[in-house]
Amino acid sequence: MDEQIQLPAEDLPHLGGDSRAVGVGADVACGNQRRIDRGRELANVALDPFPLVGEGEPGAAIGETLRDRPGDRALVGDAEDEAALAGEISHGGRVYGFSATLRGLRRAALLPLAAALILASAASATLQSIRRSYGEFSLPRVRAGTLKIAAASSHGRLTVLVDLRLPPLAAYNRNLFSAVSTSRLNVRSSSSRAYLARLAHAQSAAAAELERAIPSARISYRYRVVLDGFAVSLPARKLPALARLQAVTKIYPSVRYALDTNQSPAIIGADQIWATTGDRGDGVKIGVVDDGIDQSNPFFSPTGFSYPAGFPRGATAFTTPKVIVARAFPGPGSGAQGKLPLYRQASFHGTHVAGIAAGDAGTTAPAGPDHPTITGLSGVAPRAWLGNYRVFNTPTPTGYDAFTPQIVAAFESAVDDGMDVINFSGGGPQVDPLSDALVEAVRNVSNAGVVPVIAAGNDRDDWGLGSVGSPGTAPDAISVAAVSNSHVFAPSLSVTTSDAPPTLKNVPFEDILPIPDAWTSADRTLTDVGTIVGTDGSPVERHLCGPASNPNSRGTLPPASASGTILLVSRGICAFTTKAANAQIGGAAGIVLVDNRPGEANFIPLQLPLDAGMVSDLDGARLRAYLDSRGGRAAVRFVKAFNQLNTGRSGIITSFSSAGPTDFGHQLKPDLAAPGGQILSATLPEALGEPFAVFDGTSMATPHVAGAAALLVARHPTWTPAEIKSALMSTAGAAWGDTARTQEASVLLEGAGLVNVPRADDPKLFTTPVSLSFEDLDVTAGSARHSLLLEVQDAGGGGGTWTLGLQSQAATSGAFVDLPATVAVPPGGAADIPVVIRADAAAATGDNNGFITLTQGSDVRRVPYYFAVGRPGAEITPVLPLKKFQTGDTRVGKSNIGQYRFPTSPFGPPPTYTGAPMDENGAEKLYSLHINQPVANVGAAIVGVSAGALVEPWLLGSRNENDVQGYAGTPVDANLLTNDYRLDVGVAGAVFPREKRYYIAVDSGRDIFTGRSLAGAYELRSWVNDVTPPKFKLLTRRVTAGRPLLAARVTDLGSGVDPLSLVIEYRTNVLLGAALYDPASGLALFGIPRSAPPVRRGLFKGAALAADNQESKNVDQIGANVLPNTTIRRINVRGTARPTVTWLLPLGTSCVKGSTSLAVAASAPGKIKAIRFFDGKHLVKTVRKGTIGLYTASWRTRAAKRGPHKLRVVLQSRGRSVQARRNVRVCR
Cα angle at 772 between 844 and 858, to 5 degrees? 105
Total-model pTM: 0.87
What is the C-alpha separation between 458 and 68, in angstroms, rounded?
9
What is the C-alpha separation between 891 and 874, in angstroms, rounded?
17
CB atoms within 10 A of CB 114: 10
Res 274: pLDDT = 82
Least confident of 271-285, 451-465, 776-790: 271-285
Residue whose C-alpha is closest to residue 386's, from 454, 316, 295: 295
For residue 1204, pLDDT over 60 is answered with yes
Least confident of 109-123, 351-365, 1066-1080: 109-123
Res 42: pLDDT = 24
Q: Which amino acid is at 35?
A: R
User: 913's torsion region: left (phi>0), alpha (psi -120 to 50) or beta?
Assistant: left
CB atoms within 10 A of CB 93: 10
CB atoms within 10 A of CB 335: 12
Residue whose C-alpha is closest to residue 1227's, from 1202, 1205, 1209: 1202
Rounded to an integer, the average pLDDT of 1048-1063 is: 95
For the chain, what percent of residues have pLDDT higher than 70? 87
Q: What is the DSSP string of 494-562?
A: EE-STT--GGGSSEE-EESSPPPHHHHHS-EEEEEGGGSB-TTSSBPPTT----TT-SSS--SPPTTTT
What is the C-alpha separation between 959 and 953, in angstroms, rounded?
14
For residue 667, pLDDT over 90 is answered with yes
3-state secondary structure of 460: helix
Asked if 260 and 943 touch (Cβ cutoff 8 Å), the reply is: no
Least confident of 467-481, 1121-1135, 1170-1184: 1121-1135
Q: Which of 94-108, 134-148, 619-633 has the highest mean pLDDT?
A: 619-633
Residues in a beta bridge with 1130: 1103
3-state secondary structure of 892: coil
Least confident of 320-329, 535-544, 941-950: 941-950
Cα angle at 828 between 822 and 832, to 5 degrees? 40
Rounded to an integer, the average pLDDT of 1147-1157 is: 88
pLDDT in tens, 389-413: 999 999 887 889 999 999 999 999 9
DSSP state of 73: P
pLDDT in tens, 30-72: 332 222 222 222 222 222 233 323 222 222 222 222 222 333 3
3-state secondary structure of 769: coil
DSSP state of 1016: -
For residue 737, pLDDT over 70 is answered with yes
Beta strands in 553-669 (DSSP E): 566-570, 590-594, 611-615, 633-646
What is the C-alpha separation between 239 and 241, in angstroms, rounded?
5
Residue whose C-alpha is closest to residue 605's, from 638, 639, 571: 571
Task: Please report, for residues 323, 475, 695, the alpha-carbon distance to residue 849 in angstroms, rounded to integers and kept in the order given.
Answer: 42, 18, 31
Rounded to an integer, the average pLDDT of 355-383 is: 95
Least confident of 68-82, 208-222, 1120-1134: 68-82
Cα angle at 1110 between 1106 and 1114, to 5 degrees? 105
For residue 955, pLDDT over 50 is answered with yes
For residue 921, pLDDT over 60 is answered with yes
Q: Specify the pairing of strand 385-390 against strand 323-328.
A: parallel
Asked if 578 and 83 touch (Cβ cutoff 8 Å), the reply is: yes
What is the C-alpha separation between 470 and 455, in angstroms, rounded?
9
Res 1115: pLDDT = 87
Rounded to an integer, the average pLDDT of 258-276 is: 77
Asked if 126 and 117 touch (Cβ cutoff 8 Å), the reply is: no
Res 342: pLDDT = 97
What is the C-alpha separation between 877 and 298, in angstroms, rounded?
63
For residue 114, pLDDT over 60 is answered with no
**Burial profile 6-22: b = 16 or more Cβ within 10 angstroms, e = fewer:** bbeeebeebbbeeeebb
3-state secondary structure of 674: strand
Band of residue 154 on the pLDDT scale cut at 50, 70, 90: low
Task: Please report, for residues 395, 948, 973, 1108, the alpha-carbon distance to residue 1023 in angstroms, rounded to integers and kept in the order given.
Answer: 29, 26, 17, 12
Band of residue 153 on the pLDDT scale cut at 50, 70, 90: low
CB atoms within 10 A of CB 298: 17
pLDDT in tens, 988-1020: 999 999 999 999 999 999 987 788 899 999 999
pLDDT in tens, 433-466: 999 999 999 999 999 999 999 999 999 999 999 9
Cis status of the peptide bond prior to 112, with omega within 30 of 0: yes
Domains and CATH numbers, the chain: 157-254 (3.30.70.80), 257-486+651-765 (3.40.50.200), 489-646 (3.50.30.30), 766-867 (2.60.40.2310), 873-1024 (2.60.120), 1140-1226 (2.60.40.10)
pLDDT in tens, 795-840: 999 999 999 999 999 999 999 999 999 999 999 999 999 999 999 9
DSSP state of 146: B
pLDDT in tens, 168-185: 999 986 555 544 445 789
Residues in a beta bridge with 566: 526, 590
The residue among 267 and 18 whose pLDDT is bigger is 267
What is the C-alpha separation between 166 and 244, in angstroms, rounded?
17
Residues in a beta bridge with 1223: 1206
Band of residue 911 on the pLDDT scale cut at 50, 70, 90: confident
pLDDT in tens, 294-347: 999 999 999 999 999 999 999 999 999 999 999 999 998 899 999 999 999 999
CA 926 to centroid of chain Cα atoms:
27
Asked if 51 and 1157 touch (Cβ cutoff 8 Å), the reply is: no
Average pLDDT, the chain: 87
Q: Which amino acid is at 744?
A: E
